[in-house]
Structure 1
């Protein structure tokens, strides 16, 4: 059976994360998006050290949708280079895995 996939990303604010998350849920690329506000970041960007406030988003999807989800997320994301970390799920509660599969579209074949 296909495995669930978690995707870690960040957004500039909760509104943007929720709007993009809702679009991805409606497109059945993800079953759920958890938005965690209040994150402070220190990061290197184009040779400088920056600080900023962001929100974390954790997307629940399936491995077979990784490429389609990445393309849809990049097309909607406001960052020039959005962070996309794919976290494969080694194991999941069967009910949780079944829910994710039922709420996301089957990946294209061929």
Structure 2
């Protein structure tokens, strides 16, 4: 495995599978990520407007590069149905050489 600093996982959630699929397709169409996993039936507890809320959501796990994070964030903000979408970028500490090569070939060059 390679130790990395230029590959990231971006996490966000969506209110439905349809919304998550729409976001995923737009991200992939623009080559801002190599892969988007949708994890349905995530139960989220959070504070919103002074109250504790609970909703079932779909978690999106988006694999991308550091160079594309800003553009990816802008796209998600522009199409996301939430007023304040979750946007959390986590650096990937290590990944297999073949997966990294595939990821880098699958996204657009900056």
TM-score by length of 2: 0.92
Which position in structure 1 is the counterpart of 2:97?
94
Deviations 1:29-60 (A, max 9, x none): 01111000011111101111111110101001
Deviations 1:59-96 (A, max 9, x none): 01111101000001110100000001101011111111
Which position in structure 1 is the counterpart of 2:64?
61
Q: CA RMSD in A?
A: 1.2
Structure 1 moving runs of 4+ over 3 Å:
none
**CA separation in 1, counterparts of 2:29 and 2:97?**
23
The number of aligned residues is: 107
**CA deviation after TM superposition for structure 1 residue 3, in Å:** 2.1
Which position in structure 2 is the counterpart of 1:37?
40
Unaligned runs of 5+ in 1: none
**CA deviation after TM superposition for structure 1 residue 2, in Å:** 6.7
TM-score by length of 1: 0.92
Which position in structure 2 is the counterpart of 1:83?
86
Counterpart secondary structure, 1:106:
coil
Counterpart secondary structure, 2:70:
helix
Unaligned runs of 5+ in 2: none
